[in-house]
C-alpha cells in the first residue's frame, strides 16, 4: 500500500511516501521510498524544492507566485526523472495530513470530509500560522489526485481527554465554554514516543508512567498515564510552557500589558517578540539553535550559558511538576532534534532528577543512539532516546483507516 504523508507548515511543506504491506503494518518503522520538502522562506520570489529518492537528491526552484501549484510540481517527481518511484500517481492509496489544531471535537485520526474541512477552517483563529496551510494542502491534493481518501491526524488529539482541572484556565469559566482552554500540541510525536518507549521496554504502555520530552525548535512535555496524555506543557497556543528556540514559553502575563502600556508595543510587536525573538535566541543574542548555543558557550559567551541554564531549569521544573499527577515516574523519554542529539541537554536535565533514583549511563548518553535506553543499570527510572517518527505514525493511522474502509 502506497501511503503519502504531507506535513505543511506556515512556510514549508514536508512530504514522504511509504510502501507498506497490505497484510499488516510493520512493528518497526520503515524508511520512506521518497521524500520531498518545499521551503518557501529561502527567497522573496521563489521556493526551494528538494527531493530524495533512489539514492538521488535533486533541488529546483518554484515560483512564489505559483505557490498553489507547488504540490503538483512536487508530486510530479514521484513519476518522473531520477526520483521516479511510481508509474502513475493513482498508485497512491491514501494521503495523510498532520493538522496542528483539531479543537476538542477530534480525539482520533479521521477521514477528511466536508465537515472536517469546515472544522479545520473554523479553527484558523486558534492556529493562524498552520491551519490555513493544512486546508490549502488538502484542497490541492483533491485537485491533483482527485477523490483519493485523505486523513487528518491532529496534533491536539492525543491531549483531548486531559482532565478539565488541567485543560481549564483559572479565568472566568465562560471563556472555557467559548473554547479558551489548554489544547496541547506535538500530540502525534508524544503518542508515538510513548508507544515506542513501551515497545523498547517490552512493557504494556498502560502499565507505565511516562514523561515524553519533545525538544526541537518548539518544545513540549506530555505526562502519559494508562496510555493517555493527562497533562502537557503547551496550552491554548504553542507559546505556553517550556523555553524554546525563539518562543518565550510561559511568562508573567502582565509583561505584554506592560510593554503595550509603557513601551508602545502593539499586538504584532508583542506577538513577534514572544514567538520569534525570545527563548534561546532572545536570551543568548546568538541563535535559537541549541548547537549554536553550545558552541557559543565553549567560546566563553555568558549569555549563551545563561540561556542554556534557563532552558534546563525550566525543563526540570516542568518535568517535576508532572510527577505528582502520574504518581511517580517509570520512563523519561527524549525525542526531536535537541532531545535526540544533545547529550549535554539530557545530562544537565537528568542531573537535577537524581532524587528520583534516576541515573544516566554517561557513555550511552554521549553516544546518542536512537531508540535506546541510556539509563544506568541501577537507575529506578528508564531514560530513553526515541527517534521522532511523526510521519510514520501518520502513515500508521492511514493504514488503519484504509483497512477499516
> Which has the closest alpha carbon to 109: 159, 153, 44, 72?
153
Burial class (CB in 10 A: 0-12, 13-18, 19+), 28: exposed
> Which has the closest alpha carbon to 86: 53, 38, 56?
53
Q: At 92, is the secondary structure helix, strand, or coil?
A: strand
> Which has the closest alpha carbon to 305: 296, 313, 317, 316?
296
In Å, how far are 173, 264, 273, 274, 308 from 259, measured between CA atoms? 27, 7, 11, 12, 25
C-alpha to C-alpha distance for 287 and 277, rounded to whole angstroms = 10
C-alpha to C-alpha distance for 379 and 358, rounded to whole angstroms = 5
Place of cell 536512537: 370
Active site residues: 155
Neighbouring-strand partners of residue 223: 211, 231
| Cell numbers given for 156 | 491536539
| Cell numbers given for 14 | 514536508
- Spacing of C-alpha 402 from chain mean position: 24
Burial class (CB in 10 A: 0-12, 13-18, 19+), 104: middle
Main-chain dihedrals φ then ψ at residue 125, nearest 5 degrees: -60, -25
- Give the strand pairing for 12-19 and 92-99: unpaired
In Å, how far are 50, 101, 312 from 106, measured between CA atoms? 33, 9, 33
Place of cell 544516566: 360
CB 102 within 8 A of CB 157: yes
Amino acid at each position: 500500500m502506497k501511503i503519502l504523508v504531507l506535513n505543511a507548515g506556515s512556510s514549508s511543506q514536508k512530504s514522504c511516501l511509504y510502501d507498506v504491506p497490505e497484510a499488516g503494518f510493520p512493528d518497526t518503522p520503515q524508511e520512506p521510498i521518497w521524500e520531498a520538502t518545499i521551503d518557501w522562506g529561502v527567497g522573496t520570489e521563489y521556493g526551494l524544492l528538494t527531493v530524495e529518492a533512489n539514492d538521488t537528491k535533486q533541488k529546483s526552484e518554484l515560483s512564489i507566485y505559483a505557490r498553489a501549484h507547488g504540490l503538483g510540481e512536487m508530486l510530479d517527481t514521484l513519476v518522473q526523472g531520477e526520483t521516479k518511484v511510481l508509474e502513475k500517481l493513482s498508485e497512491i492509496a491514501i494521503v495523510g495530513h498532520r493538522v496542528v489544531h483539531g479543537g476538542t471535537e477530534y480525539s482520533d485520526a479521521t477521514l477528511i470530509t466536508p465537515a472536517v474541512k469546515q472544522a479545520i477552517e473554523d479553527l484558523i483563529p486558534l492556529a493562524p500560522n498552520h491551519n490555513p496551510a493544512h486546508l490549502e494542502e488538502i484542497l490541492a491534493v483533491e485537485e491533483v489526485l482527485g477523490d483519493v481518501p485523505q486523513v487528518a491526524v491532529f496534533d491536539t488529539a492525543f491531549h483531548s481527554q486531559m482532565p478539565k482541572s488541567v485543560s481549564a484556565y483559572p479565568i472566568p469559566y465562560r471563556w472555557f465554554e467559548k473554547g479558551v482552554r489548554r489544547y496541547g500540541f506535538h500530540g502525534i510525536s508524544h503518542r508515538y514516543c510513548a508507544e515506542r518507549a513501551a515497545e523498547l521496554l517490552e512493557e504494556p504502555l498502560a502499565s507505565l508512567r511516562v514523561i515524553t520530552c519533545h525538544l526541537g525548535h518548539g518544545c513540549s512535555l506530555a505526562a502519559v498515564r494508562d496510555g493517555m496524555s493527562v497533562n502537557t506543557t503547551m496550552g491554548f497556543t504553542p507559546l505556553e510552557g517550556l523555553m524554546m528556540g525563539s518562543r518565550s514559553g510561559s511568562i508573567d502575563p502582565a509583561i505584554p500589558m506592560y510593554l503595550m502600556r509603557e513601551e508602545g508595543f502593539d499586538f504584532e510587536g508583542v506577538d513577534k517578540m514572544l514567538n520569534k525573538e525570545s527563548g534561546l535566541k532572545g536570551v543568548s543574542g546568538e541563535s535559537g539553535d541549541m548547537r549554536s548555543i553550545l558552541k557559543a558557550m565553549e567560546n566563553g559567551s555568558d549569555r549563551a550559558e545563561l540561556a542554556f541554564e534557563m532552558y534546563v531549569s525550566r525543563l526540570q521544573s516542568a518535568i517535576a511538576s508532572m510527577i505528582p499527577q502520574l504518581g511517580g515516574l517509570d520512563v523519561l523519554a527524549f525525542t526531536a532534534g535537541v532531545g535526540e542529539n544533545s547529550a549535554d541537554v539530557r545530562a544537565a536535565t537528568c542531573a537535577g532528577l537524581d532524587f528520583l533514583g534516576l541515573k544516566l549511563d554517561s557513555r550511552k548518553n554521549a553516544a546518542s543512539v536512537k531508540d535506546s535506553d541510556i539509563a544506568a543499570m541501577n537507575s529506578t527510572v528508564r531514560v530513553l532516546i526515541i527517534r521522532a517518527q511523526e510521519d510514520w505514525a501518520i502513515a500508521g493511522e492511514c493504514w488503519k483507516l484504509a483497512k477499516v474502509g
